[in-house]
Chains A and B, each alone.
Chain A
């Protein structure tokens, strides 16, 4: 388990990276010609969705790990990652919505990424709902793991089906960086922000897992699994 010092260092690194990312998003990256400054929200929107995918990937890892070993640590990983995944998915949707309103006049566009993200949001909210309804820790971990695995397997299926559906029906602009070649400053700003988000995620994850561990200990001891 990561030591408290290491976690705190991670936290500060995340703050620094976020500040750097903010600076780059506003200072370094160019102002978009047509959309104006609102396009800069992309530097939140894209890293957020990438981080959400990372989170859901970890949910898959934790779920499989728990089913295979019955060790509570894996379940804590899955649960904490799912919560953060829902958070970052929420950020993705909100930022996409905010981007869309001044740009296309509507709060919601059935853009491929937004649609996929919304579906994932619902899947993992369901995951958290399930966890909330089961009291016994071993059962909760198992049921959640099964749902987590289905949710993760669903991600590529969602990606392809939504992409093809979009290609068929509405060829309007997608929210996101322009197709290659991406200008260097934009790519750099995106990269820095992405790293910042990942660091933030890692910090929050470590903290959340720690809290989960303390909760379990307070509840009368972690069950020694067989």
Chain B
């Protein structure tokens, strides 16, 4: 295994291990998803039609808010014991650290999204089966876009005062167009329409993901050594 791939792999391994051991993020996100479920039921549960039209937006609102919590904590473990400094001192292309962290974030967020999705499907009696194929493409694309910028900005704000305030302020405006695309595409999928109808949205998402990924890879070393 090349040095780069090995480093990406070990960062991914380490982050998932820390996450599994501390269970901090996963628990918080899971209960957050449940809370959202109840909130939406109370406000929209009575009107089936309104619920269905609001569902794509609600889902992604849930995903983004959960993502905010999880992503913002990306580099929290590194603040203990100067581990950040340790990362700065590793030789080689620092973007490997970015990719490893990004992969770990996508895994954790993906797991949370799946749970929220299944819960929503169950409690709101939504036919996920026919939408499954479409969602299987839309969810990863949307999550990748969110995580690509989120991981980068998490690294920036980890070293700045007022982190909890600044992180959402920086991340959310950038995410708005991505959200537009994912919600629109999700609408198409949940309505049972052919995925081809959402093709322009998916293309936009894929393009955005690529752009953000490239920027993250190229600029991460400047953030780390900041």
Query: Chain A residues in contact with chain B, CB under 8 A?
Result: 67, 119-120, 122-123, 125-127, 129-130, 133-134, 138-139, 142-143, 145-147, 149-151, 153-154, 157-158, 160-162, 164-165, 168
Contacts and interface: CB of A to CB of B under 8 A. Distances in A.
23 contacts: A119-B176, A119-B177, A126-B166, A129-B166, A130-B156, A130-B170, A142-B222, A143-B159, A143-B223, A145-B222, A146-B152, A146-B215, A146-B219, A150-B153, A151-B174, A153-B211, A157-B207, A157-B208, A158-B177, A160-B177, A161-B180, A162-B177, A164-B201
Contact of B170 (A145, A147, A164): A147
B161 A133 contact: yes
B169 interface: yes
Contacts of B174: 123, 150-151, 154
A165 to B, nearest CB: 5
B176 A158 contact: yes
Interface string B151-176: 01100100111100010011011101
A120 B173 CA distance: 7
B112 interface: no
A35 B181 CA distance: 34
A180 to B, nearest CB: 24
A145 B215 CA distance: 11
Contacts of B204: 157, 160-161, 164
A162 B180 contact: yes
Interface residues of B, number: 33
A interface SS class? helix
Given A145-B222, A153-B215, A133 B166 contact: yes
Contacts of B66: none
A134 to B, nearest CB: 6
B3 interface: no
B180 A165 contact: yes
Contacts of B153: 147, 150
B41 interface: no
Given A146-B156, A150-B212, A157-B211, A67 B177 contact: no
Nearest to B172: A122
A146 B200 CA distance: 28
B166 A130 contact: yes
B174 to A, nearest CB: 5
Contacts of A143: 156, 159-160, 223, 226
B178 interface: yes
Contacts of B181: 161
A3 B63 CA distance: 53
Given A142-B223, A143-B223, A150 B215 contact: yes
B175 to A, nearest CB: 9
A149 B215 contact: yes
Contacts of A145: 219, 222
Contacts of A142: 222-223, 225-226
- Closest 10 A/B residue pairs (Cβ): A122-B173, A161-B177, A161-B180, A123-B173, A126-B170, A158-B177, A146-B219, A139-B226, A157-B177, A126-B169
Contacts of A130: 156, 160, 166, 170
Nearest to B171: A126
